[in-house]
Amino acid sequence: MSSEQYRWLLVDDFVEEFNEHMVQAFDPSEHICVDESISRWYGQGGHWTNMGLPMYVAIDRKPENGCEIQNATCGQSGFMLRLKLVKNGSRRKHHYSVGAVEELQRNGLKFIGVVKTATKKFPMAYLQALELQGRGDIRGLVARDAEGDPSLIACVWMDRERR
């Protein structure tokens, strides 16, 4: 077992117990928000050292650096229902992907969110080629299911002047 795997084992039980407790103790609303959080970390960390946090992330848009956590939260109460530690960079953004939306749809669920970087199956090239006139301009595409109802909507907008 690697040092990295061992260090994750030190917290895996806590995460599993938290998730199991929330299943038993809390009945969430029909609105679930899936997002990411950062648990700040000021100690040592990284896969290159045998001490501290095994996966240390620094994301420009986040105020703190540390351990990234994918979470599901009750949209009505704000309680976190489920946690998942991001242990490596390979699956970081699956919950912001077209694949995640398709999986939710197969389970009878809906998704509202932004596909940020996991753009496989996303019409990124088409949307990037669209001509936007100025701040506030928006363009989009709609995919429809067999009944003609919207199943996926992809949008691009200009929220600041281009550099």
Q: What is the tens place of the pLDDT at every residue in 111-143?
A: 777 766 667 777 888 888 888 888 888 888 888
Could you give the C-alpha distances from 55 to 12, 14, 25, 99, in angstroms and in order? 14, 17, 30, 24
Whether the predicted pLDDT of 57 surpasses 70: yes
Confidence (pLDDT) at 10: 85
Instruction: Encode pLDDT of 3-26 as tens digits.
Output: 888 888 888 999 999 999 999 999
Cβ neighbours of residue 77 closer than 8 Å, sequence gap 6 or more: 28, 29
Grade residue 92 by pLDDT with cuts at 50, 70 and 90.
low
The three-class DSSP label of residue 160 is coil
Instruction: Band the pLDDT of 80: cuts 50, 70, 90.
Output: very high
At 94 the pLDDT is 61
| pTM score of the predicted model | 0.64
Q: Name the burial class of residue 63, with classes exposed (0-12), middle (13-18) and buried (19+) by CB atoms within 10 angstroms of its CB.
A: exposed
